[in-house]
Amino acid sequence: MEELYSKVAEASKFLESKGVKHPEIGIILGTGLGKLAESVQPIEVISYDEIPHFPVSTVESHHGRLIYGELEGKKVLAMQGRFHYYEGYSGTQITFPVRVMHAAGIKHLLISNAAGTVNPNFKKGELMLIDDHINMIPDNPLRGQNDERFGPRFPDMSQPYSKELNSMIKQIASDLGLKINEGVYTPVAGPNLETRAEYRYLRMIGSDAVGMSTAPEVIVANHIGLPCCAISVLTDECDPDNLAPVSIAEILEIAATAEKDLTKIYTELVRRIYSRESQV
Ligand code: HPA
């Protein structure tokens, strides 16, 4: 435990030595969703492999760098590329960057991901604000001895996604005339996509979308008391009675189109979030 705490402190100290000072908002960009990072006026771009104890991204569609800069006048830390369970990382490794960004000073965490929709009313190319999740990734990031300096042994998950941030997002979508669905996200281990029977099961248990990420980071954000929100870009329609083979190229293409709206919403959210001095 001491080990994780000091590793986080070491990584955060390293960021400080690179000029990262009082970042206010952390952003995690999912598969095919790196564009938002291009709106950030960079102050420092730090490759993951430079940061002590940071895992290194193995997925080609992920860049693997941390961008420290300004967006809408706020200091942000944007992760261009994240870590997944299917890459072989443990829950602790996947969520290490969340602890580091928090130690560096962020007060809010904005997450994005690509997901398949199992709700027949949602269409590919649309966005879904995550209201809740059903975590099916086996390795819980809090498994093992708890360090009270991070948070409690049994963190509450009655409202894992910030009510305030979620209502701001809905207001923003309405103000900008953009459609956003709302629903339950279920991450699975991956890396294979689901069988027809699995999609049917996911729908039956109450899922609206299925992906392979996000819940670990959200669990840790709740552990450390960091308000967070997440938006899925719906890249494929998972209808068990009419299932076409999924093409990863198509998923990436749809993610690239839909991320324009995601970028608009998150940029406006960053603008509306009060600064460190006056909390949301
Ligand atoms: N299943 C799991 N993960 C995904 C999917 C899917 O259908 N689409 C995009 N990410």
pLDDT tens for each residue of 36-53: 888 899 999 999 999 999
Tell me the pTM.
Answer: 0.93
Burial of residue 234 (CB within 10 Å: 0-12, 13-18, 19+) is buried
Q: Give residue 1's pLDDT.
A: 52
In this structure, are residues 22 and 105 in contact, taking their beta carbons and an 8 Å threshold?
yes
Q: What is the CA radius of gyration of the chain?
A: 18
Query: What burial class does residue 148 get, using C-beta atoms within 10 Å of its C-beta: 0-12 exposed, 13-18 middle, 19+ buried?
Result: exposed
- Identify the structural domains of the chain with CATH numbers, from first to last: 2-279 (3.40.50.1580)
Query: Rounded CA gap, 192 and 179, in Å?
Result: 29
CA distances to 72, 87, 96 from 58, rounded to whole Å, are 31, 7, 16
Residues of the chain with pLDDT under 70: 1-2, 32, 57-63, 275-280
d(CA 6, CA 9): 5
- Give Cα 62 to chain centroid, integer Å: 13
Distance CA 48, CA 45 (A): 10
Model pLDDT, residue 247 = 83
SS (H, E, C) 201-229: HHHHCCCCEEECCCHHHHHHHHHCCCCEE
How far apart are the CA of 210 and the centre of ligand 1, in A?
6
Note the pLDDT of residue 57: 63
* Residue nearest atom 9 of ligand 1, based on CA coordinates: 115
Give 17's contacts (C-beta < 8 A, 6+ positions apart): none
Say how many Å lie between the CA of residue 18 and the centre of ligand 1: 36
SS3 category, 8 = helix
CB-based pocket (< 6 A), ligand 1: 114-116, 193-194, 210-212, 235-236, 238, 251
